[in-house]
């Protein structure tokens, strides 16, 4: 075949594309288990961060297994619809896509809860997910056994502005949530995020200061907490009564 012809050039390009595509597909398939394992380990690390546990990179899975004694799926009525004990291979709760669940009506959501055994007693960890200025924000809120008092919190983001909205990831922001209550004056009131020097719209609600210069991201955290925590009210109420 004439190597200078158009047909040869087209065939050559097609063969190269097929070979490169096959190589990329094989590589992606081979790396997928490792990528999934890394993503799961990072999620475990973030869950543990919410209760002040910071495991070494090579000890995340073991620490998670020792600390998280149960994983629950609850509904907006407060019923436990799935329960996974520590050591089980069942990933039903762990793999629940919170980003998808928040787009459903509250009554239709599957609500994950991670139950942790800590030196300070049993804690209930709730995942939250929302939108910041430039992209998704998410986190985990850990509650005391009374279902009301916040024991700890961890927040992260995908693309918020460094030094501004990205500050939600810093302890200076998340530590403000410690000791705040979701139940105030007999009402369920997620903690509000307000501009420094201001007060929340509901005078009974607990609140924290938003990050300086990150107004939209701070509002995003407040909306995220309201949207994600309210569906848990019935479940947390049962803990509060206990």
Taking only the tens place, the pLDDT of each residue in 112-138 is: 999 999 999 999 999 999 999 999 999
Give the pLDDT confidence of 182-224 residue by residue, as tens digits.
Answer: 998 889 999 999 998 899 988 899 999 999 999 999 999 999 9
**Mean of the per-residue pLDDT values of the chain:** 92
3-state per-residue secondary structure call for 20-42: HHHHHHHHHHHHHHHHHHHHHHH
CA–CA dist 168, 139 (Å, integer): 10
| pTM of full prediction above 0.85 | yes
Would you state the pLDDT for residue 240? Answer: 74
Would you state the pLDDT for residue 43? Answer: 97
Residue with tokens 């995908």: 158
Residue 52 zone, left/alpha/beta (φ > 0; ψ -120 to 50; rest): left
3-state per-residue secondary structure call for 132-155: CCCCEEEEEEEECCCCCEEEEEEE
- Percentage of the chain surpassing pLDDT 70? 96
Would you state the pLDDT for residue 31? Answer: 61
């Amino acid at each position: 075949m004439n190597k200078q012809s158009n047909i040869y050039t087209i065939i050559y390009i097609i063969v190269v594309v097929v070979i490169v595509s096959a190589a990329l597909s094989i590589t992606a398939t081979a790396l997928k288990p490792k990528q999934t394992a890394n993503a799961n380990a990072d999620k475990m690390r973030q869950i543990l961060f919410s209760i002040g546990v910071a495991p070494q990179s090579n000890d995340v899975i073991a620490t998670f297994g020792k600390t998280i004694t149960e994983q629950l799926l609850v509904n907006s009525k407060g019923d436990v619809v799935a329960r996974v004990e520590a050591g089980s291979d069942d990933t039903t709760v762990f793999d629940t896509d919170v980003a998808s669940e928040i787009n459903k009506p509250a009554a239709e959501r599957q609500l994950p809860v991670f139950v942790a055994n800590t030196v300070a007693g049993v804690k209930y960890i709730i995942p939250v997910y929302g939108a910041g200025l430039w992209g998704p924000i998410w986190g985990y809120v850990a509650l005391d056994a009374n279902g009301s008092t916040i024991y700890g919190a961890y927040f992260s983001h995908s693309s918020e502005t460094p030094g501004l909205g990205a500050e939600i990831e810093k302890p200076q922001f998340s530590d403000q949530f410690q000791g705040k209550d979701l139940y105030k004056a007999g009402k369920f009131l997620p903690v509000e995020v307000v501009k420094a020097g201001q007060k929340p719209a509901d005078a009974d609600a607990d609140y924290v200061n938003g990050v300086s210069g990150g107004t939209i991201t701070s509002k995003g955290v407040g909306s995220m907490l309201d949207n994600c925590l309210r569906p848990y009210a019935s479940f947390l109420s049962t803990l509060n009564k206990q």
